[in-house]
Amino acid sequence: MANWHDSSEATYLLPPLREDWEGHGIPDFVYRQEDLLAGEIQWPRNSPAVLGALPLSRFDSAVCTAWRQRMELGLFRYCLGNLQTQILPGAVGFVAQLNVERGVQRRRPQSIRSMRQAFDPKEFNFTKIQQGETLFRLRREPDLPGAPGQEDILVMINVSPLEWGHVLLVPEPARELPQRLLPGALRAGVEAVLLSRHPGFRVGFNSLGGLASVNHLHLHGYYLTHRLPVEGAPSKRLDPGGRLHLLQALPAPGFLFYTCSAGPELEALVSRVCRATDYLTDHDIAHNLFVTRGAQAGKASPSSALTGVRVILWARKSSFGVKEGEAFNVALCELAGHLPIKTSQDFSSLTEAAALTLIEDCLLPPAQVEEVQAALVALVTQEEQDSFSR
């Protein structure tokens, strides 16, 4: 089986024709701890962060080369060109993009009735995708002989892409896991961000009731060549140890977790976030999660420097099914400030105030937010006490 561990370029390991991958299995992208780029990444100061204008990592090259090839072979539902983009006037800095094809041609979301709905093999799931939609297997080698490595994650194209390089990160599909965040999946998502040298590669998760359209465990990853409000927004510490912050700025307040390390600190963050999402799921509270490079928690960063990784978690009202007739549906990217717009009319007329109204309508009432905040602070405090007692 091919792998890209010792190669700086993935291009020549990708089959040039559809028939070449049939019967040859899925190639591996193997990485180690030292491949995780945990140091500071910067946005270009005087030029756009287009994919061809920045140095790419081995991971970026693998994703972009394979993704472009699948687009040329017609495996997507539509051909994604350069999306018309504008920054909405106002204090937030919403990045609005016109993506009519996604609004029209994406697969109809599954009928979700419960936050804890079981996996249903009769519904669409990622064991039913076309051959060739899987780009590669993301596989981390253990740091020490005999130590467990990261579980294998399949990187697949999203056939109805939001933006260039839009992929899905799917733990072994045959396990038939429902859409409930697990530590192995989140760890892979954070490490995918750290594998990329591009400041605009983000990863996110939508829960059931949080506009997940497929009840089969997956995360989204995609490139967006624009800064987003959540990267540098200020936050306040919620616990004495500073492990949990409240992101205070618009477009929506959320719970902020941060790491600037790819070692044990990352493992602790993954555990902390999954405790939080388990609490939300067990209490039937829908949620969205966004992973991006950003400023240190507790600090705002108006500069181009991104010192670590921010994981932002929003608890929100449950929403089952796509709402027709609205400019956009509120899920992981919209809460972060990226607005894929469905129609030209909405794209030309949307204002910051109207966008904020749509988002605020999806948020929990203040009393419930306070209840969730108290519960998450208690979880983090208990974790801190447990670590001291060990």
DSSP 342-389: S-HHHHHH--HHHHHHHHHTTBPPHHHHHHHHHHHHHHHHHHHHHHHH
DSSP state of 224: -
Q: Is 385 exposed, middle or buried (0-12, 13-18, 19+ CB in 10 A)?
A: exposed
| Count of residues making up the chain | 390
Q: Which two tokens stand for residue 60?
A: 């970026």
218 is catalytic: yes
254 and 243 Cβ atoms separated by less than 8 Å = no
Q: Coil, strand or helix: which one is 308?
A: strand
Helices 58-72 + 183-195 axis angle, to 10: 100
Peptide bond preceding 234 in cis form (omega within 30 of 0): no
DSSP 62-104: HHHHHHHHHHHTT-SSS------EEEPSSSS--EEEE-HHHHH
Element (H, E) at 137: strand 134-140
Q: Name the catalytic one among 218, 245, 287, 338.
A: 218
245 and 238 Cβ atoms separated by less than 8 Å = yes
Active site residues: 218
